[in-house]
A and B are shown apart, each in its own frame.
Chain A
């Protein structure tokens, strides 16, 4: 069964605004990852946060993880039209191998120029 569930399903903002997406999961994890997918293309890894970390930054991305609530958020600051894509959180069961990840349904982000 899928672990990650993103919220909202769709998000529409103007360039320059911040975009926040949330992810909830069900079981214990070693880490949580966020991926981006442009329409019909492959997924691109954005950032990984380990279960013992609470916050991580990478460029305009900020990820938080709350293991007590089993939730994570991805913040994209100063959004650009090029950020338009679907964003997925992915988790793996503790003890599972790397290649088996559970993906949520994704958040479709649209950034208008």
Chain B
């Protein structure tokens, strides 16, 4: 069974640009979450989607957005990039979005560098 696939793995952007990251969950997983990982702030929750609906959102500005498609694939977008947006963006999927009852399966991440 294929794992969580994130594309692109690495990308470099300049301030003011926007970026779209993609995540394909494990087949059959319908819940997708996104996390930002930086040396300063650690792992921070961005948002969670299930059945194309955003179920939870972290404390990030409106420049960060996401969506989920009917095939459970998800994308996140960051507009008007800032230097501080440089980070490893991790996507995770889970089988069912029950209350804290199982593990998350993470992709390898998309490493974004903003110059």
Q: Which residues of A contact B (CB under 8 A)?
A: 2, 29-31, 33, 35, 40-45, 48, 88, 92, 94-106
Contact = CB atoms under 8 A, between A and B. Distances in A.
Contacts of A40: 88, 109, 111
Interface string B34-77: 01000000110100101000011010000000000000000000
In this complex, the interface size class of chain B, counting residues with CB under 8 Å from chain A, is 20 to 34
B4 A42 contact: yes
7 contacts: A92-B99, A95-B99, A97-B31, A98-B94, A99-B48, A100-B58, A101-B104
Most buried by B among A2, A35, A43: A43
A97 B99 contact: yes
A43 B56 contact: no
A86 to B, nearest CB: 10
Given A33-B103, A42-B4, A98-B104, A103 B97 contact: no
Interface of B: 4, 31-33, 35, 42-43, 45, 48, 50, 55-56, 58, 88, 90, 92, 94, 96-109, 111
Nearest to A47: B103
Contact of A97 (B56, B105, B108): B56
A107 to B, nearest CB: 12
A97 B55 contact: yes
B45 A100 contact: yes
B88 to A, nearest CB: 7
A30 B100 contact: yes
A45 B58 CA distance: 22
Contacts of A102: 45
A103 to B, nearest CB: 4
Contacts of B107: 42
Contacts of B97: 97-99
B9 to A, nearest CB: 10
Contacts of A97: 31, 48, 50, 55-56, 97, 99-100
